[in-house]
Chain A
Amino acid sequence: MTDTAAPAAKSGPRISGAFHRLLAFSGLIALVVAFSLASPNFMQTQNILAILQATSVNGVLAIAATLVIITGGIDLSLGTLMTFCAVLAGVILTYLGLPLPLGVIGAILAGAASGLISGTVVAKLKVPPFIATLGMMLILKGLSLVISGTRPIYFNDTPGFNQIALGSVVGQIIPAVPVPNGVLVLFAVALIASFVLSKTALGRYTFALGSNEEAVRLSGVNVDRWKIGVYALAGGIVGVAGVLIASRLNSAQPALGQGYELDAIAAVVIGGTSLSGGRGTVLGTLIGALIISVLANGLRILSVAQEWQTVVTGCIIILAVYADILRRRTL
């Protein structure tokens, strides 16, 4: 009658959060090791830098998505908002000929303002986030075409602009590893977002809102204000992504952007953030974004046919999230 099917008594110590993240990290390491063994061209400085460069825009977007998703919301306007911010930077710098810092600040402020509007529609008008940001996605897509005059805007008149993503401050100091500035921007955004989430009242309310919004409201907290704050912060971060992509392409492409929010959300869920809110980390999201780029890059290095690359990426997304679910269930 003593069955073997029943699990053995588990009385070991609770596994700490740090170890938890380490497990998520091991997936990334496994991919890197596997690709390195499969191709000598993978573990090359230039290729690693290419992977980081490819992660920078999606990573920044995914960090913005993480904030909103932890509140239990979603932001579908990330991709087209990024484009809008990029185009706005183009209008400021190329069409109006204003100095470079104004273009960067303008893009970030435009992102924050858009987040403010999304947040207000969600919090005050009680429109579900999915719908509110779907609407914003289309509004911004249209506005990008309107303010750009439907043409790509080039930054040829602003010489330093493409240095924001493509230049390398690190490379000037250590010429052997010319880490592009865009990657530094990604890490800076990650550090700031991580700090806000773990150390500030805004961050604490971000988790609290996703955990139990009604309890927070009944604690006398001005729920609407904090929620709008989270969307605005996420919008500002998207503004940074807009500057990065414009700088990388040395142009603002008004038609680009739609669909990028899904890659960002994929990175967020691979990183272990719950779509139902209340749980998530920036580090996890960063790892998720890296897994996506390593996978894409590695499969290309191995010359895997493109149709199969897509299949494998889809499988990995499901596997990664399933592994995360299994881990949580057994802990």
Chain B
Amino acid sequence: MAGHSGSASVAGAPALVEMTDIDKSFPGVRALAKAQFQLLPGEVHALMGENGAGKSTLMKILSGVYTRDAGTVLLDGQPVEITSPRQAQDLGVGIIHQELALMRDLTAAQNIFIGREPRRFGILDEGQLNRDTAAIFASMNLKLEPTVKVETLTIAKQQMVEIAKALSYRSRVLIMDEPTAALNDAEIAELFTIINRLKAEGVGVVYISHKMDEIKRISDRVTVMRDGEYVGTVPAADTPIETIISMMVGRTLTNEALVIPNTADAPVALEVKNLNRGREIRDVSFSVKKGEILGFAGLMGAGRTEVARAIFGADRRESGEIWVHGKRVGIASPKDAVEAGIGYLSEDRKHFGLATGLDVRNNIALASLDRFTGVGGVLDEAKMEKEAVGYIKQLAIKTPSDTQEARLLSGGNQQKVVIAKWLLRDCDILIFDEPTRGIDVGAKSEIYKLLNALAAEGKAIIVISSELPEVLRLSHRIAVMCEGRLTGMLPGGASQEEIMRLATQRQSSVAEVRHAS
């Protein structure tokens, strides 16, 4: 399946990285089979594929996290054995993990130089440490104090610290796994400036992402993987997005158009009145009808997740009323919300959505165990299995069985397990917070179809998303937030420009001062 052969842009010069015939198996899972990858100096090479395609595994082999079972790895044409992350760093291979690996209680500088702190007479030299860090930040054009504690930084800034850390090793190969997942547009532009500068210096960048537009903007070549195998390498500029997607999923996807059902007469399922919580949520009111998908757009930190958590009772609210099906409900905890029929799917599945150590069956049943409980608190496993298997079929959850541990599933399938949990609990108001974060293209479109189907069944759905195309693709109406306020309510099919205008509609600085005092 090496149909699309990549053209080496620099003839004669040895490739920075040449990986061939890489095999890797985990118990019961063949993660990589004859995988290959080539990286040239001064190249940004996008690595694409659905989740579970083997991108991360391949890059973890390159960066010394895993050891390969078979195959060869050449660095500058020389065979190498990379057996530890430390060794990879010494060889000039740096990786920025998708899940940030920073120590929250240490400063930015301490994080960057962890394990190789400059010393004087055996004593840590904090001054030198901070000067070195400041120099790296300056080279990145990053305005950040080396002594700032990482826990006080936004995710975006933490990402920048990670990049600074990788740069501090003078990496010639820099692997970035979903670097923009938590960045806003300005920050993405900043990141791309840095990437271009590195490129000019001859650093090879491996760029793992699901976002097509970014791939087009930043990368030179694209290598696609599927099911642990190499599919092909194509030049980024001349290859249509549809071609890349069809290489990833093995079939051609049609971009279904948004269907806006007529919900004018439908009853209101959820109404939120004058919701307040400090500076995060300021007087937010809106309603969602049965069968409607309400999108929530806005920049990072606009207060969308906070609104969702306040409605769900996960955080305390200062004031505001919540009405469900025309009745006011008192929600003081997630338990109350669930009893009112509201389900919340967090953006951070690993921390808040799944009990990763439990199996699929128990995760699906987690919110409704009382329904499977008989005399003396004994669980009816047979009934649980029947329901779980039913949802696995209905939502097409890819899992060997309902007793598979949830952590072993791919992101998209984990998301479906959480959806199944709320469907089983009979929740008819579902709040999705970034439902496709970290989910690959093929699975994304499946989740979209699922949301449409759920709305068609009469569920009221709120979708919070930072990806504008996603909001536009899904929403029947779009609520836009900025700095804790609801700045506008747009009809489905609104323009991106209109949304962005509302998302950046800040209050005047006079009002800001009054609020602060």
Task: Write the residues of chain A forming the contact surface with B, with a CB cutoff of 8 angstroms.
Answer: 1-3, 5-15, 196, 199-205, 207-208, 210-212, 214-222, 278-279, 331
Contact (Cβ within 8 A) A201 B357: no
B337 at the interface (CB under 8 A from A): yes
Contact (Cβ within 8 A) B346 A218: yes
Docked pose: A218 CA to B30 CA in angstroms = 34
Contact (Cβ within 8 A) A8 B366: no
Contact (Cβ within 8 A) A201 B379: yes
Residue contacts A-B, CB under 8 angstroms, 21 given: A5-B67, A9-B69, A10-B25, A14-B27, A14-B28, A200-B373, A204-B369, A210-B357, A212-B350, A216-B366, A217-B334, A218-B346, A218-B353, A219-B425, A220-B339, A220-B425, A221-B335, A221-B369, A278-B355, A278-B357, A331-B27
In the assembled complex, how far is the CB of residue A224 from the closest CB belonging to chain B, in whole angstroms?
9
Docked pose: A110 CA to B339 CA in angstroms = 34
Chain B residues near A7 (CB-CB < 8 A): 67, 69
B445 at the interface (CB under 8 A from A): no
Interchain residue pairs A-B with the least CB separation, the first 10: A220-B338, A211-B357, A219-B367, A200-B377, A211-B355, A278-B357, A212-B355, A9-B69, A9-B25, A201-B369
Docked pose: A13 CA to B25 CA in angstroms = 12
Q: Given the known inter-chain contacts A219-B421, A220-B335, A220-B425, please indicate yes or no for A211 contacting B314, CB distance below 8 A.
A: no
Chain B residues near A3 (CB-CB < 8 A): 81
B393 at the interface (CB under 8 A from A): no
Contact (Cβ within 8 A) A220 B337: yes
The A-contacting residues of B in range 15-61, CB under 8 angstroms, are: 23, 25-28, 30
Closest Cβ neighbor of B83 among chain A residues: A5
Docked pose: A2 CA to B405 CA in angstroms = 34
Closest Cβ neighbor of B72 among chain A residues: A1
Docked pose: A199 CA to B381 CA in angstroms = 8
B286 at the interface (CB under 8 A from A): no
Docked pose: A238 CA to B504 CA in angstroms = 60
Closest Cβ neighbor of B79 among chain A residues: A1
For B334, give its contact among A8, A202, A218 (CB under 8 Å).
A218
Contact (Cβ within 8 A) B367 A220: yes
In the assembled complex, how far is the CB of residue A42 from the closest CB belonging to chain B, in whole angstroms?
38
In the assembled complex, how far is the CB of residue A7 from the closest CB belonging to chain B, in whole angstroms?
7
In the assembled complex, how far is the CB of residue B229 from the closest CB belonging to chain A, in whole angstroms?
15
Docked pose: A202 CA to B376 CA in angstroms = 10
Chain A residues near B373 (CB-CB < 8 A): 200-201
Closest Cβ neighbor of A11 among chain B residues: B25
For A218, give its contact among B28, B67, B79, B344 (CB under 8 Å).
B344
Chain A residues near B314 (CB-CB < 8 A): 217-218
A contact face: mostly helix, strand, loop, or mixed: loop
Docked pose: A3 CA to B370 CA in angstroms = 54
Contact (Cβ within 8 A) A221 B70: no
Contact (Cβ within 8 A) A218 B355: no
The A-contacting residues of B in range 407-448, CB under 8 angstroms, are: 421, 425
B358 at the interface (CB under 8 A from A): yes
Closest Cβ neighbor of A278 among chain B residues: B357
In the assembled complex, how far is the CB of residue A222 from the closest CB belonging to chain B, in whole angstroms?
5
Q: Given the known inter-chain contacts A201-B377, A211-B358, A219-B338, please indicate yes or no for A8 contacting B69, CB distance below 8 A.
A: yes
B354 at the interface (CB under 8 A from A): yes
Chain B residues near A5 (CB-CB < 8 A): 67, 81, 83
Chain A residues near B23 (CB-CB < 8 A): 9
B378 at the interface (CB under 8 A from A): yes
Other than the known A211-B357, A214-B352, A220-B367, what 14 A-B pairs have Cβ atoms closer than 8 Å? A5-B81, A7-B69, A9-B23, A14-B27, A199-B379, A201-B379, A208-B362, A211-B355, A212-B356, A214-B351, A215-B353, A216-B355, A217-B314, A221-B367
For B366, give its contact among A2, A14, A219 (CB under 8 Å).
A219
In the assembled complex, how far is the CB of residue B71 from the closest CB belonging to chain A, in whole angstroms?
9
Q: Given the known inter-chain contacts A12-B27, A219-B367, A222-B335, please indicate yes or no for A6 contacting B357, CB distance below 8 A.
A: no
Contact (Cβ within 8 A) A215 B335: no
Docked pose: A86 CA to B30 CA in angstroms = 56
Closest Cβ neighbor of A331 among chain B residues: B27
B230 at the interface (CB under 8 A from A): no
Chain B residues near A210 (CB-CB < 8 A): 357
Contact (Cβ within 8 A) B67 A6: yes
Contact (Cβ within 8 A) B339 A200: no
The A-contacting residues of B in range 298-353, CB under 8 angstroms, are: 312, 314, 333-335, 337-339, 344, 346, 350-353
Docked pose: A179 CA to B425 CA in angstroms = 49
Closest Cβ neighbor of A213 among chain B residues: B355
